Amino acid sequence: MTDYKIIRETAYEANMELPRLGLVLFTFGNVSAADRDKGVFAIKPSGVPYKDLTPEKMVIVDFDGNVVEGTLRPSSDTKTHAVLYKHWDGINGIVHTHSTYATSWAQAQADIPIFGTTHADHLTVDIPCAPAMSDEMINGDYEYETGFQIINHFNKLGYDHHEVEMILVGNHAPFTWAKTAEKAVFNSAVLETVAHMALLTQQINRQSPKLKAALIKKHFERKHGPDSYYGQ
Ligand SMILES: [Zn+2]
């Protein structure tokens, strides 16, 4: 148990943030935290209510999806996490939720347009929605193929997973990731807020224009560029 203490605790804390932030209902959603030196990640067990979680209940899994340590069955989405860790360097946390607004855009199979500076503070492009999965993928190794649906869509768009840390999977729901599990949870909360605002924006004005290029650049760079000046 001691070998994986840090990722168990990190995954536990990050999972507990999901109900606190209103991003999950019942047992929906899961966060994992990886230790790349050991080639494993800790993930929420399947179907266990948040109030019953403990760090010890997190399941340790390798990047091929095999359970390394733990008595409970890992989250049903474990293979999706494994595929992303295996194929994308530098990410140490992944979150999957069915948060209401982001999931609604996924169900509509629509990218979330960049309408405002709240969105541009975090990314400079529309939040991408991967196409709905083929019957072949669904009837095959479904959760494993979900990981490839995400990677394939990023490759098609030419996006860098270090720059864009979120995606919607068409028909399904969002996935986010980051250098840390804590930041991946932050990204899920940002995504949900941006998804909510974008829906309201379109309801108020169907023809709402996208954010001007100058504002996209200004807002992103003041937080992320070499000359960033946001925060202390
Ligand atoms: Zn799901």
Per-residue model confidence as pLDDT tens digits over 165-202: 999 999 999 999 999 999 999 999 999 999 999 999 99
CA distance 43 to 32: 4
Centre of ligand 1 from the C-alpha of residue 57, in Å: 20
3-state secondary structure of 4: helix
Distance 29 CA to ligand 1 centre (A): 7
Would you say residue 32 lies in a domain?
Answer: yes
Question: Any idea what the CATH number is for the domain that residue 122 is in?
Answer: 3.40.225.10
Q: Which helix (H) or strand (E) holds 143?
A: helix 142-157
Q: List b or e across 86-105, with b for residues whose CB sees 16 or more CB atoms inside 10 angstroms.
A: eebeebbbbbbbbbebbbeb
pLDDT per residue over 62-81, tens digit each?
A: 999 999 999 999 999 999 99
* pLDDT (0 to 100) of residue 232: 81
- Total domain count for the chain? 1
Sign of CA dihedral 196, 200, 205, 211: negative
* Structural domain range at position 84: 5-224
- In the reported structure, the alpha carbon of residue 54 is separated from the centroid of ligand 1 by a whole-number distance in angstroms of 22
Residue 229 forms part of a structural domain: no
Torsion 67-69-71-73 (CA) sign: negative
Six-digit token string for 126? 């529309």
Span from the CA of 91 to the centroid of ligand 1 (angstroms): 20
Angle, helices 142-157 vs 78-87, to 10°: value is 40
Write out the catalytic residue numbers: 121, 230
Q: Which residues surround ligand 1, an ion (CB under 5 A)?
A: 173
Please report, in tens digits, the pLDDT of each residue of the chain (232 residues total): 568 999 999 999 999 999 999 999 888 999 999 999 999 999 999 999 999 999 999 999 999 999 999 999 999 999 999 999 999 999 999 999 999 999 999 999 999 999 999 999 999 999 999 999 999 999 999 999 999 999 999 999 999 999 999 999 999 999 999 999 999 999 999 999 999 999 999 999 999 999 999 999 998 888 887 888 888 8
Alpha carbon of 167 to ligand 1 centroid (Å): 13
For residue 135, the 8-state DSSP code is H
Q: What is the pTM of this model?
A: 0.95
d(CA 58, CA 7): 9
Neighbouring CB atoms inside 10 A of 154's CB total 18
Q: Is residue 232 part of a domain?
A: no
Phi/psi for 47 (5° steps) reads 70, 15
